[in-house]
Amino acid sequence: MESHPLFQHSEVTPTLDEERHIAVKRMYTIFNEKFLPLERIAEDPRLFQAETEAMFMFDSSLAVKVSLTFRMFSNMLTGSGRSHHLPIVEAVENGEIGGCFALTEVSHGSNAKGMRTTATYVPETRQFVMHSADFEAAKCWVGSLGKCATHAIIYAMLISKGTNHGLHSFVIPIRDPKTLKPYPGVIVGDIGEKIGLNGVDNGFVMFNNYAVPKAAALDKLGGVDDNGDYCSPIRDPKKRFGASLGILSGGRVHITSISTNYLVKAIVIAIRYSAVRKQFGPENAAEEMPVLEYQQQQLKLLPHLATTYAMKLFSVWLGELHVTITINNMIGVEDPSAAARGMELHALSSGAKPLLGWAARDAIQNCREACGGHGYLKGNATLAVPQWIGPTTHHRIGNARHNCTINKIKSVQKYPLILYILLHLPSTRLKPSEQ
């Protein structure tokens, strides 16, 4: 990245199209190098996190594109799909197709049970008919969907024989891989320019009675047979619903790491600047004092430095836990504690994402202010960091809020952690009737 001409930072602000183009070019350059194969990650899970951190430090749009187009898409296929979905995984790994993930709709985000996209099974043709009732049912804010993705993992209500069996995931072809033109019955587009992360082409998609094969269902946790009868290894609908969304833990783990990386970058810039910037000093002194010597500046920055260390240690541990669980699942390692570890990961990631995002948002703002007027200069990367952090938190206030807004409203996301504590701590354990 240091020597490749495509990875040189530009002093000129690119247009929206230029940002999109360079992000895609960088993504495929990283992809084609294949310098971090799965075998190496299996040997040392920390390598995966180190590579992701390096990409985020350099270009957050690049890191998001790589993660969404290849990694998260493949992980969800292997985690929720069956053996007949492996050719799709291979196509992704060969760079023949690109994927994305679509849960959020125009009218619903955190309320996943309120999603309105439907997948109605037709036994006569052994097909699912995907349909969006209106624009409020459109999938939106889908990273990599605006211009590039050829396939999408769509969360939709599975309907069979007149019964709604709840939210299920489907791998749906969106565009022709050769022409990138959408298939008939698919309406797809770009949501336009954002406050930050403009190298990522967030998009929307709607379906107009779009028929896909029955094999499109990622039905490891539940689905219909050829006749349309529903079956699942998890009988309790609530537990099945929780398990289906638990697969999304990887995204939340990823965002805790992103928040930490943004804070690392900002705190280093602010403290180094404070160490070299000099103002005032004792009377008759030959030199002025570095502003870092002033107690007010120390109180502004050093508590956030301590927070950075704590966040870094936690996010590394959480990332290693997630990678280990994912790899064990992919290669079929039998782990008696896998279910319990998965529940713990779901709870911790649900709580950590908002808490670390909020901490990073507030700390980065202080770092920018600590740089004085230079904090407003584009060359000072602390100004850009708040722009990035917005997306990691999804449609709330701006990019230092991107992290505080990316997967719906973060305060809502703490609920799985709260419920986990109530269910597992002896002093607060809920009775079955209270659950």
Q: pLDDT tens across 376-403, in order?
A: 777 766 555 655 555 444 433 233 344 4
Domains of the chain as residue ranges with CATH: 5-93 (no CATH), 101-234 (2.40.110.10), 249-434 (1.20.140.10)
Q: What is the pLDDT of residues 53-105, one digit of tens each?
A: 888 888 889 989 998 999 889 888 988 889 999 999 999 989 999 999 999 99
Q: What is the pLDDT of residues 13-53, one digit of tens each?
A: 899 999 999 999 999 998 888 777 767 777 777 787 788 88
pLDDT for the residue 118: 97
Backbone angles phi, psi at 223, to 5 degrees: -175, -170
**Beta-ladder partners of 203:** 142, 190
Mean pLDDT value across the chain: 84
pLDDT for the residue 332: 67
Q: How confident is the model at residue 299 (pLDDT cuts 50, 70, 90)?
A: very high
pLDDT for the residue 246: 64
How many C-beta neighbours within 10 Å does residue 431 have? Answer: 6
pLDDT for the residue 383: 54
* CB-based contact 66:30 (threshold 8 Å): yes
CA distance between the termini of the chain: 51
For residue 332, give the 3-state DSSP assignment. Answer: coil
DSSP-assigned letter for residue 293: G
CA distance 56 to 42: 22
162: nearest Cα among 219, 229, 210:
229
CA distance 375 to 273: 10
pLDDT for the residue 135: 95
Greater pLDDT, 220 or 139 = 139
- Mean pLDDT on 318-327: 81
- Considering only 6-10, 195-199, 322-326, which range has the smallest mean pLDDT? 322-326
CA distance 215 to 340: 30
Residues 6 or more apart in contact with residue 190 via CB below 8 angstroms: 146, 147, 201, 202, 203
Residues 6 or more apart in contact with residue 284 via CB below 8 angstroms: none
pLDDT for the residue 401: 42
pLDDT for the residue 398: 34
pLDDT for the residue 402: 47
Supply the pTM of this predicted model. 0.82
Maximum Cα–Cα distance across the chain: 93
100: nearest Cα among 205, 220, 243, 249:
205
Report the alpha-carbon angle 363-416-61, nearest 5: 45
CA distance 28 to 33: 8
pLDDT for the residue 39: 74
Alpha carbon dihedral 361, 362, 363, 365, in 10-degree steps, equals: 90
In order, the DSSP letters of 359-373 are HHHHHHHHHHHHTGG
pLDDT for the residue 410: 46
Q: Beta strands of 161-251 (E only): which ranges?
A: 163-173, 186-190, 203-207, 210-213, 223-224, 230-231
| Region class of 363: left (phi > 0), else alpha (psi between -120 and 50), else beta | alpha
pLDDT for the residue 52: 82
The label of the residue with tokens 């998260």 reads: 72
**Beta-ladder partners of 151:** 173
H or E, element range at 140: strand 139-142
